[in-house]
Chain A
Amino acid sequence: MAVGEPRGPLASLIEEFCRLPGIGPKSAERLAHHLLAADPAQISDLIAALSRVRDGVHPCRTCFNPTEGDQCDICLDPRRDPQVICVVEQPKDLMALERAAVFKGQYHILQGRIAPLENVGPEKLTVDQLLRRIEENQVRELIMATNPTIEGDGTALYISNLLASTPVKITRLARGLAAGSHLEFANRDALADALEGRRTF
């Protein structure tokens, strides 16, 4: 479509869907036509859900997990051990680990990994907040669950070096995860296995 050419509402909706991950032009068209024929109440619910995500969700004050409140449900859960922290790159990694349902500690989301080639240094991550949290809560164990890629491993190594002179026990996810793979795509059993078989740095 040429620049400046007016777009109909249906065309703009299709275009918006196309920008979402995993949705090609064909699926976008199908979704748009589905909504066109849908009950107006269903569309209102969708609009409401979208604006709640836009306006109400922000990173948890403690662990940076997206939440509506000041702190997320995991941080507020009294059954979860605040002295054992599992460090992940992204919220989707936390969700993958939660699906494995074996971890009873809390999380810390780095919001990325150290990637020198992309100009992402430790100062762009939540490393400082993690260090403060470890000090304030007398954290006993840190489980480094960054992706087993070069950049994920580098980030884990960087953080463990920072804590080398402290009594904090630092472990790394082990068995079950192939080097170079991504947490979000690992299956449940592989993740449970990796948590069980974690090793000291």
Chain B
Amino acid sequence: MTVISAVDSQTSVYDDLVPPLTPMQAMAEASRCLFCYDAPCVRACPTSIDIPVFIRGIATGNMKGAATTILSSNIMGGTCARVCPTEILCEQVCVRNTAEERPVAIGRLQRHAVDPLIASGSHPFTRAAPTGKRVAVVGAGPAGLSCAHGLARLGHDVTVFEAKPKSGGLNEYGLAAYKMAGDFAQREVDFILKIGGITVEHGRRLGGDLTLAGLRRDFDAVFLGVGLGESNRLGIPGEEFLGVEDAITFIGRLRQAPGGAGLFVGRNVVVIGGGNTAIDAAVQARKLGAEEVTLVYRRGRGQMRATAWEQELALTHGVILRTFAEPVRIDGDGRVQGILFEKTRLEGGRLVGTGEKFSIAADMVLKAVGQKLAVRELAGIDLAGGKIVVDPAYRTSMAGVFAGGDCIASGEDLTVQSVQDGKLAALSIHSFLMTA
């Protein structure tokens, strides 16, 4: 285990992995957009940002217009520009792929447009006349903040209750440091709150000092944007050893240690999982100086939830990808020393062990096998498949209580989807409040 005193500035985990475009790059890239009709990129964006229009704004020098176009569909356009897997969203369907096998760099152009507006300290939207209605939002993540902004814009007063000391949800505690360089999460939160009419109360937890009944009593409506608060367990011996940690906890520590001082990382790190979180944890461990990082996934690369681009990212960072192996036991003497795997294979779509085993030495094991909903505080609300059940208008089974983001069963654990949920839920809550 290595304790880090300061992060090497050349490969810093806190620097932009994908740097901002220079003005010249932005100009060249913007001029590649064909201003398609009923553009496929817009259809592929969960928040339906009018991409051709904002790119045209960049091309014509209407930067404020470009930013406003983006933010009017997606108030977290800044974060989404940085973290969206564009390779499976807008950029995947860009028509420039067909002829040139290279899409317009929509994500980077989006950042180019939004960043100056956020840096300017201004806010492009104004609030409607006050309605006198009050809404409680639980969770200051993408879903909660997007919903709060939408409601505040429509003239309602919003109180956001957030258990953690900072707002942003996984933008602040979960996304990879190199995607959110320069404390962007907090700068974006400040920007969103500039609309006015939103109060955030930190250290307030539903299930702690807050109850659903209390919120329903004190407010005209409630929105739940609590995300997935618990991590899945491996359920194998040795999981309690020192050095075994949830990947998301590891990333949270990393994100909250400015400059990386005081962080510790293993020499030999094993990451278990095949999604975003696994890749992010592995790459960040490498960037922090881990000598050997092995990412082990129980199925093949084709089945990984991490996109091809992300897998490539891990490989170019020297992460060893091992597939078709499942952890059986963690070995150690109170501290982890290694981990035993059994090889697997797919038999007619079903995963089975082959009986063949192997060990990997490790002084740090990061578990990235999924998050799940913390259900205790949600008593009285219908759940299905471990998530909150909502109708198309984001209504839960409890009258006046709405939900969106990772905690509902929309199927997409993406920032952009959570922003969209929050945005649409705000409209639904608005019509609920105004017809009630």
Indicate whether A and B interact: no
Q: Enumerate chain B interface residues (CB-CB to A < 8 A).
A: none
